[in-house]
Amino acid sequence: MHTTVGIVGGGPAGLLLARLLHRVGVDCVVLESMTRAHVERRQRAGMLEQGTVEALRAAGAAHRLDVEGLVHHGIELRFDRTRHHIDFPALTGGRTVTVYAQTEIVKDLIALQLAHGPRLLFEARALAVERPDSGAPVVRFLREGREETLVCEWAVGCDGSHGIARDAFPAAAVRTYTHDYPYSWLGVLADVPPSCDELVYARHERGFALHSMRSPKVSRLYLQVPNGTKAEDWPDDRVWDELDARFAVDGDWTLRRGPITAKSVTPMRSQVHEPMRHGRLLLAGDAAHIVPPTGAKGLNLAVSDVRILAAGFAELHATGSARILDQYSELSLQRVWQATRFSYDMTRMLHAQPDGDAFDHRMQLARLRRITASRHAAAELAANYTGLPLPL
Ligand code: APR
Ligand code: PHB
């Protein structure tokens, strides 16, 4: 099999890249190791920066998002039993964010790709990307028990944090930066309307809690838990009681309870692999970097990588110039490190330190109080949360 751009991985990064390339007439093939049903069922985050929404519109993949997406004008920070609204449009010159689940984006992109191309192969597991230094990298993959090859002009690894594309970088050319956090998130999905219109980021001595949503009928809630926690150790009543304790305020507030339909524990890690390009192999999304979910940046970073890549391939196709592709790693990494910093700061500001350090606790409160007291401090949070500009 031959193509111009061979894409390993059919998550949001790979699928959106394929869509954007198809729109500018660049041929590509997506190899996805799992089944369609599996990819469409995976529960992930769902808070989209305005630039992410614009990219999905540019890809012709926003019809349902424009109808069902919930536009949010801010978030709530909750600490000391008090609620504080952070008004994004007022602080950023009109910017908003949109709640629309990543799984729904994936479903929309898959439906478009299967109907209109380019080629998307499920249960096609890439084994290795070979000869990235040559003009014709090759992806070896396994389909229906047989090994096949995809010969490309360029290969893009969109194969997530456990992918194989990264392995084709020579060890001496790569540097990996990692930070593990001493806590995890227990996430639940509940068939109950959200308890308020906004996302609530709550800092409490018992630990962090987040109120989010998937639709007007489905709530998404998270609790900070110790590393190694098992979801089975958290029966539904315990989850609701703990959420109640952490969201408690002086004044009116009721957390609506309902049937919990999914429960899982996610560890928290920041990781960046540099560079994001070797020869004719490029990495995008979780394959190159992961962030803790506190700043809602994972999906948005995957999309900004893909926007830069798509601009690079469009330029190459139209003019023969690889100017943007040659700068891809530096351009993407500027945004990656800013999002890594923001996610780290949000995480550290809102989670209880397991060793109960009293000084740390005071620092967290001082940071939160500064954000709620100073327009400048709040504007800095709002600018990062709604998304920094693309460096193009
Ligand atoms: N061959 C083919 N496909 C593979 C292989 C392989 N060897 N290894 C992994 N994949 C597929 C996975 O099955 C998955 O569908 O690559 C895809 C990677 O998708 P994601 O993990 O969703 O990563 P990405 O597209 O970069 O999206 C980033 O996902 O994890 C969240 O928080 C993150 O929201 C962010 C988003
Ligand atoms: C989610 O809705 O899953 C979500 C929202 C915001 C975050 C993290 C997760 O910061």
Mean pLDDT over each residue of the chain, to the nearest integer: 97
Q: Which of 199, 294, 301 to mutate to test the pocket of ligand 2 (most atoms within 8 A of CB)?
A: 199
Q: Of 66, 77, 76, 54, which is closest to residue 100 (Cα–Cα)?
A: 66
Distances 144 to 36, 157, 163, 240 between C-alpha atoms, Å: 15, 22, 20, 45
Cα–Cα distance for residue pair 263/67, rounded to 1 Å: 28
Which residue among 278, 293, 328, 351 is the active-site one? 293
Query: Is the preceding omega at residue 226 within 30 degrees of 0, hence cis?
Result: no
For the chain, what's the residue count?
392
Q: What is the DSSP string of 102-123?
A: HHHHHHHHHHHHHHH-SEEESS
Ligand nearest to the CA of 158: 1
23 close to 318: Cβ distance less than 8 angstroms: no
Looking at all shown ligands, the one closest to residue 72's CA atom is: 2
Identify the pLDDT of residue 356: 77
Domain boundaries, the chain: 2-49+64-70+101-178+269-352
Measure the CA–CA gap between 280 and 373, rounded to whole angstroms.
Answer: 49
Of 100, 183, 328, 385, the active-site residue reads 385
- From the list 198, 211, 222, 224, the residue with the least C-alpha distance to 348 is 224
Handedness of CA 87, 88, 90, 92 (dihedral sign): positive
Residue 241 confidence (pLDDT) = 98
* C-alpha 14, offset from chain centre: 13
Tell me the C-alpha to C-alpha distance, in Å, between residue 149 and each of 22, 143, 168.
Answer: 21, 10, 16
Closest by CA to 214, choosing from 193, 236, 237, is 193
281 lines ligand 2 (CB under 6 A): no
Distance 82 CA to ligand 1 centre (A): 38
Neighbours of 303 (CB within 10 A): 27
Is residue 287 within 8 Å of 163, Cβ to Cβ? yes
d(CA 153, CA 290): 27
Q: Closest-lying ligand to the alpha carbon of 295? A: 2
CB under 6 Å to ligand 1: residues? 8-14, 31-34, 39, 44-45, 102, 125-126, 158-160, 163-164, 285-287, 298-299, 302
For ligand 2, atom 1, the nearest C-alpha belongs to 45
pLDDT tens-digit readout, 187-208: 999 999 999 999 999 999 999 9
How far, rounded to the nearest angstrom, does the alpha carbon of residue 80 sit from its chain's CA centroid? 29
Position in ligand 1 atom list of the atom nearest CA 291: 32
Listed in sequence order, the residues at least 6 apart from 369 whose beta carbon sits closer than 8 Å to its beta carbon are: none
- Give me the pLDDT at residue 183, please: 98
Mutate to test the pocket of ligand 2, among 47, 214, 299 (most ligand atoms within 8 A of CB): 47
Ligand 2 site, residue 296, Cβ cutoff 6 A: yes
Q: Which fold would CATH assign to domain 2-49+64-70+101-178+269-352?
A: FAD/NAD(P)-binding domain (3.50.50)
Whether 177 sits among the annotated catalytic residues: the reply is no
Cα–Cα distance for residue pair 297/384, rounded to 1 Å = 9
Residues of the chain with pLDDT under 70: none
Q: Is the pTM value of this prediction over 0.95? A: yes
